[in-house]
Amino acid sequence: MLSALYYDQPFPALNRGRALVAPVSNEFHELGAWMLTTTLELDGWEVTLLGCDTTPESLVARALAERPRFIALSVTLVSNVQEARRAVSALRAALGPETPPILVGGQAFIAAPTLAKTVGADLFLDSVEALIDWARTLEIGG
């Protein structure tokens, strides 16, 4: 359904920058991350979507190679919140002061919002719409 609707939408002329979206390790639900990616692309972002079960090592390698403006991590199951902590920690260790904002979202944090504060991310957003609104506050091309 997303694929069919995607090509019926107008593509923006504007390029807001790069974003990296990934489900964390042991996460095999990627529909939320895919929905976010599609919406970001239709808003003018160049997005790399990593597939399900993205290891911290793969995430760090892609972040180093692409230098995105922000990284969004998707967590569906509460049992995978520890994987989000590992991913955030690995990103901060590898990227240091150049770490872009790290956002977390997904059903795990909607079910237990207090867990979002425990992973070390910069921001928890509870919907695709909230992330798009936040991303639009970033300076274009900055």
Range scoring the smallest mean pLDDT among 5-14, 74-83, 104-113: 5-14
User: Tell me: the pLDDT tens digits for 68-80?
Assistant: 999 999 999 999 9
Cβ(89)–Cβ(38) below 8 Å: no
Cα gap 91→56, rounded to integer Å? 8
- Per domain, the residue ranges of the chain are 32-135
Find the helix packing angle between 31-42 and 128-135, rounded to 10°. Answer: 40
Alpha helices in 1-142 (DSSP H): 2-6, 31-42, 56-66, 81-95, 107-111, 128-135
Question: What tokens were used for 101?
Answer: 């904002």
Which residue, 130, 141, 116, 127, is CA-closest to 46?
Answer: 141
Residue 57 has pLDDT above 70, yes or no: yes
Cβ(24)–Cβ(75) below 8 Å: yes
Residue 133's beta-bridge partner residues? Answer: none
User: Tell me: the pLDDT tens digits for 121-137?
Assistant: 999 999 999 999 999 99
pLDDT band at residue 9 using 50, 70 and 90 as cut-offs? low
Q: Does domain 32-135 have CATH number 3.40.50.620?
A: no
